[in-house]
Amino acid sequence: MQTQTKFLRLGLFAVLCASAFSMPAVAQVKIGVINSLSGNFAAFGERYNTGIQVALEEVNANGGINGEKLELISQDDRSDAQSALAAVESLNKQQVPLIIGSYASGITGPMSKVATRQKIPLIVLGSADDSITKPGSKWVFRAKHNSTIVANVYFDYFDNLQKTHGDLKKIAIMYGNGAWPTSMSEEGVRQAEKRGYEIVGKQAYDQGTTDFRPILNKFRSANPDILLTSSYADDGIAIARQIKEVGLNTKVVAIDTASSMISFIEQVGDPSENIVSAVSWSPDVKYAGTPELYERLKAKAKEEPSFYEAEGYLALTVAADALRRAKSTDREKVREALASTNLKTPVTDVVFKDYDGFSGQNPIKSVIIQIQDGKHVTVFPENLASQKAKLSN
């Protein structure tokens, strides 16, 4: 009886082993994502998450990471720097090979310093403040634009407008006092002075301000040709409405970041017409694969996608490419693979360079989109444009 029981046990063990070995492979490569899924920046974080999910589906449908499934360990930074830093520590303990994050520069800046100390490769998700990659570190990589790139494309656009629309030299600049708006506006001032523009007004405001009429009235008395603002979503909507209220009749209105959102057009209505913004990608920009990416992002978002979704897609696509080439989850090998990136995507080409004091920065070419007939269209540079630019007045 004991012998029979022993054979039954051995038989059961053999069946279990056979079943285990016949199961599909469950090998996984896990990476960290820190994103603003709640709090003040949740509207942006959700858009980034949409793009990340589209990229994740694409990566795994095409063999994952050298045959292993790619999985994300997602952490909500709650639109708060301290929560983001706690997330970095948590992901470090889980030994992820790299981290992607986050949206706001005031969050990603501190994250980049901790990631550098911990020697974790960090791919910047949405932040554009120059200081994140200038001077940066060998552990931090940004495929999207920065403040200097954005300010330069605005002034390239303004310069180009002068060829067909005459003298546009007087400029007023206003910006929120957060890290990104401040950085972009400071570079804007440098470009204005360098290119011979007359700065007739410059004003910062506290984040959370709702009444911009005192600033706009002051600008109106200076009669600028161009208004350049750098703001987040709610600020930009209020500014656009109040420009019309105070009768500020500039020929060019740029409301960076805020006016690139579909919700901006919906909430501002007719006063949004002809306002421009600099973006890293637009659905009508002429890159290979853009139409197909646009359709996938739109299906996932269930609405018109913006450059935020595209940047989320870009960040994870870059991460997957580096992991495949590294053929390892060792952080140093992943960092080396990121540093040697040479990748074409439907969003932009990616090559990380050290130049002009920047480290690990992709010298991406931003584009200018304008609201025309209630839609965003690309108007600059001309070789990528789908429509001609218009003046506001």
What is the b/e burial string over 283-307, where b = at least 16 CB atoms within 10 angstroms of the residue's CB? Answer: bbbebeebeebbebbbebbeeebbb
Per DSSP, the residues of 379-393 read: EESTTT-SS------
pLDDT of 5 over the 80 cut: no
Q: Is there a contact between 121 and 111 (Cβ–Cβ < 8 Å)?
A: no
The pLDDT tens digits of the residues spanning 336-361 come to 999 999 999 999 999 999 999 999 99
What's the pLDDT at 27? Answer: 66
Q: What is the CATH number of domain 28-144+287-361?
A: 3.40.50.2300
pLDDT of 11 over the 90 cut: no
* Rounded CA separation 155/277 (Å): 12
What's the pLDDT at 204? Answer: 96
What's the pLDDT at 243? Answer: 96
Per DSSP, the residues of 218-237 read: HHHHH--SEEEEEE-HHHHH
- Across 116-120, 133-137, 230-234, 328-332, least confident range: 230-234
The pLDDT tens digits of the residues spanning 38-85 come to 998 998 999 999 999 999 999 999 999 999 999 999 999 999 999 999
Q: Enumerate the domain spans of the chain.
A: 28-144+287-361, 148-279+367-380
pLDDT of 286 over the 90 cut: no
The answer to whether the 28-144+287-361 and 148-279+367-380 domains have the same CATH topology is yes
CA 245 to chain CA mean position, Å: 32
Share of the chain above pLDDT 70, in %: 93
What's the pLDDT at 284? Answer: 82
**pLDDT bucket at 231, cuts 50 / 70 / 90:** confident
Q: Residues near 235 by Cβ (< 8 Å), separated by ≥ 6?
A: 176, 205, 207, 209, 212, 258
* Rounded CA separation 162/352 (Å): 33
Q: What is the CATH number of domain 148-279+367-380?
A: 3.40.50.2300
Q: Mean pLDDT: which of 20-24, 205-209, 272-276 is highest?
A: 272-276
DSSP E strand boundaries for the chain = 28-35, 69-76, 99-101, 122-124, 140-141, 170-176, 198-205, 226-231, 252-257, 276-279, 343-344, 349-350, 353-355, 358-361, 367-372, 375-380
Average pLDDT, the chain: 91
Q: Minimal CA–CA distance to 256: which of 368, 105, 162?
A: 368
What's the pLDDT at 344? Answer: 95
Q: Minimal CA–CA distance to 309: which of 162, 177, 146, 125?
A: 125
Peptide bond into 135 cis (omega under 30): yes
The pLDDT tens digits of the residues spanning 170-218 come to 999 999 998 889 999 999 999 999 999 999 999 999 988 999 999 999 9
What's the pLDDT at 166? Answer: 85
What's the pLDDT at 64? Answer: 97
Q: Is there a contact between 352 and 322 (Cβ–Cβ < 8 Å)?
A: no
The pLDDT tens digits of the residues spanning 83-103 come to 999 999 999 999 999 999 999
What's the pLDDT at 232? Answer: 74
More confident residue, 300 or 9: 300
**pLDDT bucket at 384, cuts 50 / 70 / 90:** confident
Q: Is there a contact between 138 and 121 (Cβ–Cβ < 8 Å)?
A: no
pLDDT of 335 over the 50 cut: yes
Match 């040479």 to its residue by tokens.
342
Ordered alpha helix ranges (H), 119-224? 147-165, 179-194, 213-222
pTM of the model: 0.88
